[in-house]
Every structure is written in C-alpha cells, then in structure tokens.
Structure 1
C-alpha cells in the first residue's frame, strides 16, 4: 500500500509525500520513473513535485493508494462520485420538516436515483438526515412501502430522533428484552403506517427469523446499513446475515470507508451489488495469495477504483460545511503537593498500596503501564485512593474557573477524561451545573421498561435542558455514536494517545448543526500538568509522523510511543 499526503512548504511549493507500507519494487520503479522524484529521509518514503500528480495517478492506477490529509485521518483510495455538476435542489418535489443543507440535498438526490450507494462522507457532515429523508420520500411517492435501518446499538434512538425531527414518517425502534421485541414485531407486522424500522446489528442477528418473516409478509423496499464497516468480515455470522434479505435498494453508510485493506471492502460492495465477485472470485481477480491463502498484495485495482468512483459518495467537512474554526488552547497547571509526592513515588517504582485498577487505556502494554499510571496521578490522586478534591488535583481547581467562565458566556462544555473514576469525581464536584454523564456503565441499549437508553437520556438532557451545562465523559466509552452540538467547548483533563481518537471526541461537537456559540469557534482546552507525562503525550500527538501513521483502529506502535514518553525520540 502507498500512503500519500500533500506537504506544503513555507515558500509556497508543494510536494507529494509517498510512503510504502510494504516493500514493493514495482511501485518504487513507478515512482522513480517520474521526473523530479527524490528520496525522503524516512524509510521507504519518496517525494514528488505536486505538479506530477496526474502522472503519479496514471502510473499507480493498479496499486492501493491511500490519500490522506490533515482533514481526513482515515484517508481514501479514491474521491468517489464527482458532485460538482449534480443538482443541489430536489430532483422531485420534497419538503422535510427541517430544511436539508445543499450538500445533503445532493446526497438525497443520489439516494433517490440509485438503488445502491456507499455514503462515505466524513464524520459530522450529516449523512443520516438525507438518508432517512430519502426513505420518507420514496414512501410518499409509492416507490417502497417501508424501510429497514440497521445501526449500532448506541445509535438507534439517535436515528429515531432524527427521523422525527426531519420527517413525519412513523419510525419504530426495536430494542429491549426478547419478550418486548416479539411484542413490537407483532405490532409492526399489522401496522401499515410504520415507515421505517430501526434496529441494532445485534438485534438483527438475534432476531433474523423475525425479519425474514416480516419481509415475506410486507417486503422492505430499502435496507440501510449504517456504520457499515461493522460487517466487513464475510465469514462472521453478521457478515453472512446481511445477505439473507433480498431487498431491492441497499445503502451502506460509514464515515470510515473500509478501504485501508481492499479485501475489507468486499462484503459491503458485494452486498450492495456494486461488485459481482463472491469472495473466491474477488481473491482470484484482485489478490495475490501466499501458500496459505493469505493476501500478500493486490492487482487490477483500477477496476476497484472505477467501482468506487461511481458508487461512493465521499466528502470532507471542510468541503461542504461552514463550520466554526477549532481553536486549541493548552492550559498548563502546577501539580498540588500531594500529586507531586505521589507522582515521584510512582516514577521511582514505589507502587505499594496504590490501586491502579481504573486504567482506561485500551490494551495498555506492560511497557506503557507506568506512563498510564503517571498520567492518572497528573490528573488526580483521588483516582488511586489519594487526597480528594482540589487537594489531590490541580486540574480540578483549574476546571472550576474554566467552567465558570464558559457558563458565564452562556455556553456549554463537554469534558473528557481517560479515567472512569475521575469522570465520577467531576460529576459529583460540578453538581451545581446539573451535569450529564457518559461512562462505560451508562448503557447504550434500552432496558425492558425504557423507550430510550440511559445513554441517550443523558445526551438528550445535555442537548435540550438549559440547566444542564456539562456532559462529563469517560473518553473510551463516549468518543463516538452521539451528538453534542449544544456545546462549543471541549475540555480534555487527559487525552487518548491517538490523534484519531482525539478527533473523534472533538467531532461530538464539531459537526453539522454547530454554530460556535458566543465565541463563534470550537474551543478545545487541554489541561496539562507541568513537568509530567502530560507534556510528552502532547508531543506524541503533535508528531507529524504519528499523525500520518495513525488510524482510528490502530494507534502508533508501543516502541514508537515509548520513545516519546521516555524522552528518547
């Protein structure tokens, strides 16, 4: 795979930076055959004048090329459908309850005129609204009787809320105990006024026979598969089950195009009908395999690129939204005496009688455990059973002033912490602001007696209750799957070690519907304890190579992280 980014120099010149993820002699020969090429300092990394872009595209048409830039941490093999000449007014008369923006109307037009589409707009662009409205419009025009919308468990009520916000369509969300779900199925089977069912992937898989029976009695006209990257595995039960229902119109929606590995695209494109090869035919046509049947490289990728260019809609926030600017603001704080004493003890390996069970760093390797513990103490000693409140946390004291300043402006804030314990500490400490809270303990699925989940209730409270000024979140449990546009202030008391995760957190507020509050900006505050691992984590996140190499699913390797955290980079 070739990873390509545009590098702009202060003198106005621009270059293509081309990094080979796997040694490929043919690819190197293709690059070095282009006039003006040069070897970059990094291993297996080359440069070209930006003016050579078209020639580079021609000579690498059959290679996996991942295009990346600062506004698109996931990258894209190909830009997808050219929307420049597409109408930005409705191709047939349609009036949603809330007007769609021009770029959403373009998406709506494509959804209305195509039986299949991969909607891969960047996260926060606003994909759900035009998708839901297209289902509503097709029902109004008699093109379908109803639709099925499958998404992540934590998003089913967000989808239902958006449907009620933009349309008059009757939408039923299926959740709860098996007994409750069976009751709902019985109701919708006889209720012809239901326009769309919204279910989680888990419910779809568990209750597949119910969906087969409903589809037999009253065929679904369209099938929307949200967060479509969840079904990339064609061998999993879920990856197989999506093919069971023979629905004429199929739409895959994902902000993270599953195109870092070409074979990951197969199940989605095959389900849509955009690709006619089954997995065996796909491997034969596009893959080079080793003796055990594992993919070693790809071939004939120009065909894949052609399929994507005519079946994928891919737009970035910067291209279609007039969003307020993101303004980073680092706030450096001096640790309290209690923090300094405990920090020194841990730094010297004196861990007796300290409780570090609350590490919220996913899959923290043993080599990084010490740095994770130090980061916790830099946040608050209370996390590990030390002094409570502001005595054990200079960040908590700084937060008091910052939150007061924000609320006096009439604005709201989202606070992220890596520690679940500190999330609860802050929730209690700032009770006068009537805060909402999201942790791993706040369920994203509705219980038997609930219409919406506990998590959605917290989100709704934050978004609609004027007395609720804060939503305090454990980062690992809250960086995706909800909308927090009521806030234009993001506060990190501790940060994830991947810039992609950080961007996901910021994306809760920096998205469609954001006005920027009184400051007309998204203010991102990071509380940094002086002379601690906090400063080195910031260095890590600012490393240009780290930004280039990181993806949402795979942060930088342990050895590379340690180099920065230990100060040896």
Structure 2
C-alpha cells in the first residue's frame, strides 16, 4: 500500500531511496535502529519495507552498500512522518531512477494481493512530477513511494467511468504533489476532469478532507455533473439557496463545496474559519484585476493547496498573471520583471498543453474571415456617430477618460451589427445566407455576440429555424433546458449565445459550425467560445466564421487583438521574442487620433474597461 500520513498507530515505510547522505547532527543518539529488509541491492537502489510503531521513535539504519558512492539514508521516524531540514537528489538518482521505479512497482504489487490479477496499462505509467521547491524529505518520500497513478486507481478499487488520455494522466501527475499550480491547458482538453481525479486521489490518500471549488455561476452545474461522473465516491455540495440554507451548507459534512464567485463575495462572513485542504479556482482569469472585490475576497481564502484552472492566464497584460499568482503563491513574482525571467520563475508552477500537442488527431479547425460591407443606411449612421463622438471627445480635452472612449467604441460596434434607426443589418443578411447551407446539410451551429439585444433580433429574424437562446438574461432553468434540447434534439440546429454566458464551461461537440457575429475585446475569450465545439470528442472538422466590417472600429480593434496574441505567445508559448504588452491607454486613444490626457488612467480602470 502507499505510504500514508494518516495511519494512527504505525507507519508502513516502503523506502525506495537512492544517492544521498545524512550528517551526524540529524541523527538522534538515543534512537535505536529498526529492522530493515533489503531487496535486490545489486540494481542501483534498494526497496525497504518495515512496520515501525509510532512509539518509541525508530531509525532506519544507514547502509553503504553501493560501490559508486550510492547510499541508503538514515531516516528518523518520530510520531510524525520522516522529516529533515532539506533533501535533494544527486547525480546518482538519474542512473538508478529506472531501477527504483521497477522495484517500487514490485513492492506495491507484493503488498496488494489484488495486483496479481490486475491487467497492466498499455500507456506509459504516470508518476507524480515533483516540483523543484519540494525540499522536505517526508514530502519527497511520500510521492516517490506512490505507485503509478493508473496502478493506484486499479489497486484501490477506484473505478474510472472512462479512460483518461495520456496527457491527462500527466496533468494529474503534475497537480498531485504541488501546493501551488496553474493548469493552463488550452480549452477543451479536460482541465476540470484532471483536477477532479487529482482531488479524488488525494482524498483517498488521506490528504484532503475539506476542499473548495470556486467557478463562474453558469459552471456550477457542470462541476456537479463532472464530480458525479469522475468521483462518485467523494461527497460534493453546491452552495446555493437562501441565507440560512447557505450557512448550513458551508458547515455541512460534504468533502467538496462548490460556490460561484458572486456568491462568495456575499458569503465572505459565513466562510468557515478553518484552513481548506485544497482551493480550486476555475476560470481563474476572473481575478485578473488585483484591485477588484472578487480578487480581494479570494485572497482571504486559506488553502494548504491552491490550484488555478484557466486556458487564458494572460488576457490583457502581465498584471493578469501577477494577480493569479497573488492567490497561488504570494510574493513569488517581484515587480517589473522582464518576460524571460517571469517565464523561468513560473516554469515549475504552470502546465500548458495545446490541442495540437495533446490531441494531434483532433479534427482540423478551419477559420474563415468574412468582410462585411455595411448597407448605405448603416454606413451613414456609422459615420454620423463616429463624427459626433470624436467631436465630443475632443471637446472634453484633457478631461477625457478611457471610459469615454469605450462608450464610443461600443456604440460604433453596435451600429456595425444593426442600424439603430432602420434596423438594417448587413451581417444578418450574410448570416442568413451562410446558415441556409448549414441547415441544408443537417449540421448544428453556434452564433456568438457580445450583447443580448442582437441575439434577440437574430432569434426573431431566424425564427423559421427555431433558434434557442443562451444568455444571462434567461433563468438558469431555461438556459439548461435550451442547452439540453440543443445537445439531444436532432431538429434543434441553432444556439445563440453571449460570450460571457456561453463562452466557458460548455461541451457542445454536437455542433461543428461557429459564427462570431461580432468580435470580443481580446482573443482569449473568442478562443474560449470556439472551443465549446473544437474539443476532445469532436469528430467533424470545425468551421469558424468571423464577421468583420472593414474601415470601421472593428478593424482597428482587431489590430489590438493581434497584439494580445503576441503577448500570450511571448509569456506562455514556447517561443521567446518581441511582442506587445497588450492593450494600453495609448492604443485606445490612437483609435480616434486623440491626444493623451495629462494623467494616465489607473491600471484598474484600464483592465476593467478591457
């Protein structure tokens, strides 16, 4: 069985230790050695197994048995797990690690009789990936002595409803030993499942009794479904209902409690004062603004382990990643570091895989950019609004703010969708033409917009195809009913969504067409929307159509989006090189050739506007 810190009366020490020494000052003179059984000392490492009582304390004898200077370390076993000041592997470990893993597997198989009949996994065994800052000996020992993750689930009779992919096992191996971790896999690769299976594993290792998951409100039901699917043996409860009911739920017996970000702000005084064993932030970009109330509440949470899940850790600027790590590991990042140094500091805390890396067999994603010429009425309305808006901004002079600029941008973008006077829409005409082919071929499509009003207009204009709506203005029950119908009813072909409500946490592989009716402020949110469809389980090529009106604010904003893509690639991607630091105040004012005001907008204002 695995070494456990929760055995009440004894420790079963199965030691696979190689290549380190112990100074005399770490050894207590009054401790007597325990009996040690050595197996196969000729292979470069030794597996020791002995049952050591808690009282009196015991010592495992130092055995210098290897000619190359490789030794078995003396280890004190007091009333807690073994502990020393620090621990590291010398070069001998690299020569012996392969033999160590083989012998560790044999030791576990000999202890667990169920292993004799268990089939071997075809994929490579996944083992915990120890972080560089894990220096405490008892922590390294604990994770080194665990069997491969696949073996553990099999031996502990923890059934899996489906077989994880190899990269997902590696994600679990990354999370398992880390107190602070950012899982930044591209959308659609199963970050939720990897976090749940790791939590389940830690629960059965006795390392977790109280866990908290925080996610956007629309994703609470998805987390509940995923827990029931991947970890039915772990009790879970969603915090909801009236104030008195929520107070009971917060103090209830469930191992895992799920709350949304907005509710957490209201219930900050009701939170248990205990330290959580694990806190998971889903869609962690929600705390990118370090000065927001949400980030302030999150920073008050106390977790022995803190994990963040997001496919877009950098949406606007480097401040985004600083804010996330203020939750994960405060003071890790000194201010004003260059990007290469930030990458080096975070290398041990971030795991990022793209779909090209993790799922090379995923069907292709085909992007089509369609230039839309406005109708004469729309063009006239657009020119009038831009002319009047710029005159107003210039009239404000040095009093102009970022918020004033964004109000004009939003007004112009909405005119590109629908003429506010005549109701004309060149985009809608193009969409209607594109959808005729989609419907005729028996396909399903998602249509995204920033705002609810364009979706409602589209629903009226396309009512002969019975489109369904999914946005924050609908009751949660209605949203879920529309979602279920779209997923399971073959006659339901169109789903109209806002980026904010439908861009995260939904699995919609039943569709393979995506239309971006208008563009969001940053490319990360657009990628999230596209990946509702282009994700594991998709069997058809995915066709994305992005509408853009040339010679308008849409085209100018698109240029800023490309700059943000460069920022993400510079910090998170594999290549280092020059890149923009994202949306700046100067970028916004240049959209309308405006002079910069005397005082720059505060970073908080700029991030909130973006």
TM-score calculated relative to the size of structure 1: 0.61
| Alignment match of 2:486 (pick from 458, 462, 465) | 462
Separation of aligned partners in 2, 1:267 and 1:397: 43
Q: Tell me the CA shift for residue 148 of structure 1.
A: 1.6
Out of 202, 208, 215, the position equivalent to 1:144 is 208
| Equivalent-residue separation in structure 1 for 2:385 and 2:318 (angstroms) | 45
- Residue 206 of structure 1 is matched in structure 2 by 266
**Shift of residue 113, structure 1, vs aligned partner:** 3.5
- Tell me what 1:104 maps to: 168
Distance 1:490 1:257 in 2: 24
SS in structure 1 at match of 2:176: helix
Structure 2 equivalent of residue 491 of structure 1 = 515
Maintained 8 Å contact 1:345/1:351: no
Kindly indicate whether the alpha-carbon contact (under 8 Å) linking 1:498 and 1:555 is maintained by their aligned counterparts in 2.
no
Distance 2:413 2:291 in 1: 40
Deviation, 1:160, is 1.6
Equivalent positions of 1:184-203 (< 5 A) are: 184-185=249-250, 188-189=252-253, 194-203=254-263
- Supply the distance in 1 between the matched residues of 2:239 and 2:164 (Cα, whole angstroms): 27
2:459 to 427, 448, 458: 427
CA distance in 1, matches of 2:561, 2:304: 47
Question: Greater relative contact order: 1 or 2 (C-alpha under 8 angstroms, separation 6 or more)?
Answer: 1
Larger radius of gyration: 2
The alpha carbon displacement at 1:490 in A equals 0.9
In 2: Cα distance, 1:102 partner to 1:180 partner: 41
How far apart, in 1, do the equivalents of 2:303 and 2:561 lie? 46
Cα gap change, 1:532/1:261 in structure 2, threshold over 3 Å: closer, same or farther? closer
Quote the offset at 1:346 in angstroms: 4.5
Matches within 5 A, 1:359-374: none
What is the aligned partner in structure 1 of residue 356 from structure 2?
318
Question: Structure 1 CA distance, aligned partners of 2:405 and 2:302?
Answer: 50
Seen in structure 2, the aligned counterparts of structure 1 residues 466 and 162 have a Cα distance that, compared at 3 Å, is farther
Q: Structure 1 residues 305, 333: closer, same or farther in 2, change over 3 A?
A: closer
Corresponding residue SS for 2:195: helix
Structure 1 segment 58-207 matched on structure 2, within 5 A: 90=150, 92-93=152-153, 94-168=158-232, 169-185=234-250, 188-189=252-253, 194-207=254-267
Q: Is 2:511–2:533's contact at 8 Å kept on the other side of the alignment?
A: yes
Task: Write the deviation string for residues 385-413 of structure 1: whole angstroms up to 9, x where unpaired.
Answer: 425xxxx3344344334223213333211
**How far apart are 1:81 and its partner, in Å?**
7.8
Equivalent residues of 1:541, 1:547 under 8 A apart: no
Task: Give the match for residue 507 of structure 1.
Answer: 531
Task: Say if 1:427 and 1:225 are closer, same or farther in 2 by CA, change over 3 A.
Answer: same
Say whether residues 1:254 and 2:310 are aligned partners.
yes
Please give the alpha-carbon distance, in whole angstroms, between the structure 1 residues aligned to 2:289 and 2:408. Answer: 36
Contact 1:497 1:540 in 2 (8 A): no
Q: Decide whether the 8 Å contact of 2:548 with 2:555 is kept in 1.
A: no
Distance change (3 Å), C-alpha of 1:223 and 1:543: closer
Alignment correspondent of 1:413: 445
For 1:234 and 1:499, the matched residues in 2 are separated by: 21
Q: CA deviation at 1:132?
A: 0.9
- CA shift in 2, pair 1:116/1:396, >3 Å: closer
Deviation at 1:327, TM superposition (A): 1.2
Alignment check: 8 A CA contact 2:218 2:501 kept: no
Give deviations 1:87-108, integer Å, cap 9, x for gaps.
9962622542222221111111
Partner SS, residue 97 of structure 1: coil
Q: Is the 8 A contact 1:378 1:532 kept in 2?
A: no
Matched, 1:523 2:543: yes
How far apart, CA to CA, are the structure 2 residues paired with 1:544 and 1:299? 18
Q: Which moved more, 1:407-416 or 1:432-441?
A: 432-441
Q: Tell me: CA distance 1:545–1:220, structure 2 relative to 1, closer, same or farther (3 Å).
A: closer
- Cα displacement string for residues 163-210 of structure 1 (whole angstroms, at most 9, x for unaligned residues): 223332442211233244235446x33xxxx34211123333432454
Q: Distance in 1 between the 2:510 and 2:534 partners? A: 10
> 1:73 is matched with which residue?
none
Residue 379 of structure 1 deviates from its aligned partner by 3.3
Length, aligned pairs only: 423
1:226–1:542: structure 2 CA closer, same or farther, 3 Å change rule?
A: closer
> What is the distance in 1 between the residues matched to 2:222 and 2:498?
20
Q: Which deviations, in whole Å up to 9, do the C-alpha atoms of 1:348-377 show, x marking residues without a partner?
A: 56999xxxxxxxxxx986568777656544
Q: 1:369 to 1:236 in 2, by over 3 A?
A: closer
Q: Which runs of 5+ in 2 are unaligned?
A: 1-129, 133-146, 389-400, 568-578, 594-610
| 8 A Cα contact 1:418 1:475, kept in partner | yes
Higher fraction of strand: 1
- Conserved? CA contact 1:146–1:196, under 8 Å: yes
TM, length-normalised to structure 2: 0.58
* CA RMSD in angstroms, aligned pairs only: 4.4
1:386 and 2:422 matched: yes
